[in-house]
Amino acid sequence: MTSPSPSPRWGVNLPLPGLPLREQGRIVRVLPDLGFTDVWTAEGGGIDAFTPLAAAAAWQPRLRVGTGVVPAQTRGAGVLAQTALGLAELAEGGVLLGVGSSVPAHVTALNGLPHGRPLETVRNTVRALRQNLAGQVPKPPKVIVGALRPRMLRLGYEEADGAILNVLCARDVPRVIEAAGGPRSDRETVVKLFLCPTEDIATARQAGRAFLGWILNQAPYHAFHEWLGRGEVLRASYERYQAGDRRGAELALPDDLVDELWLSGRPAELRDRIAGFLHPGVTTILLYVAGTPELVADPARLPQLLADLRPDA
């Protein structure tokens, strides 16, 4: 493996498992002491992306905050810019506004908005945001793109401030970055990892299948993994999902692929797995920590767990 980029930033995804959002301030406040520089959110179902970031920036202004990502279709570019500027007033560490095309389930089914022409929509949003944010504050928010395949990746690196990569294996990272002409030292590359920190592999795989059986069969992610060469591996799952057999789609996913995309095990094992994503050009590793029986039983374990997960700790 090629040697990693020096000193990547480390982020955690909010909300953290096991605690209501209003009680997470005591963990967010100590994140810099645990070696974390960022907090991030995403938006699909559940709560919105910006409320947790505003709370986190108030709890611990030293952190950088980021969205990874919000759909470009569900808010106007002007509203997105206003929201990012509001966060910039709170977050001394800076703001990365991640926008993307999302999936029809989050854009059309949830919001009743069209999902057509995703590349054009994201491009127009990026251009409007860059114009609206320029010169507004001393440290304007950066704009990054949730990107999977080459055209969206190039948009992120050529017209925005970088890209956030999602639902991919460690061995995919160099190919994805190279498809955008990278690595680029002047651009952000955020890699989001899904972690299930438990020794109960059966429980971890069950949770991973529930997530992956859905997302890998959404059109953008299915096309992404076809481009990565997994069309045949995922064919049975896709066909069952298209036939309305959600459970069958989950069960058709190979164990080894589930384990590569949904990382599970003890913290020491996870550290080694996370280290595999530290390729040149990766500027931030973002950790999504899934709820486990251990964390549900004892949420107070979270700070030490987060500290133990960083390979450079």
Whether residue 3 has pLDDT greater than 80: no
Q: How large is the greatest C-alpha to C-alpha distance in the chain, in angstroms?
A: 53
Per residue in 162-202, pLDDT tens?
A: 999 999 999 999 999 999 898 888 999 999 999 999 999 99
- The two three-digit tokens of residue 161, written as one number: 């401030």
> Residue 81: pLDDT above 70?
yes
The whole-chain average pLDDT of the chain stands at 94
Determine the Cα–Cα distance for residues 161 and 174; give it in Å rounded to an integer: 19
Question: Where does the pLDDT of residue 261 fall: very low under 50, low under 70, confident under 90, or very high at 90 and above?
Answer: very high
**CATH class in words for 9-197+265-309:** alpha beta
pLDDT band for position 99 (cuts 50, 70, 90) = very high
Predicted pLDDT at 1 = 36
Which residues, 6 or more positions from 202, have their beta carbon under 8 angstroms from its beta carbon? none
Q: Is the pLDDT of residue 5 over 60?
A: no
Domain boundaries, the chain: 9-197+265-309, 200-264
Question: Does the model's pTM come out above 0.75?
Answer: yes
Per-residue pLDDT band at 6 (split at 50, 70, 90): low
Report the 3 state secondary structure along 244-274. Answer: CCHHHHHHCCCHHHHHHHCEECCHHHHHHHH
Question: Does position 230 have pLDDT exceeding 90, yes or no?
Answer: yes
High-pLDDT (> 90) share of the chain, %: 87
Q: What percent of the chain has pLDDT over 70?
A: 98
More confident residue, 108 or 211: 211
DSSP 21: G
pLDDT band for 212, please (50, 70, 90 cuts): very high
Task: Encode pLDDT of 129-173 as tens digits.
Answer: 999 999 888 899 999 999 999 999 999 999 999 999 999 999 999
pLDDT band at residue 104 using 50, 70 and 90 as cut-offs: confident
Q: What is the pLDDT of residue 109?
A: 77
**H or E segment to which residue 12 belongs:** strand 9-13
Q: Give the mean pLDDT of 107-127.
A: 89
Check pLDDT > 80 for residue 34: yes
- The pLDDT of residue 59 is above 90: yes
120 has a pLDDT exceeding 70: yes
* 199 DSSP assignment: S
3-class DSSP state of 192: strand
Q: How many CA atoms lie within 13 A of 56 on its CB side?
A: 34
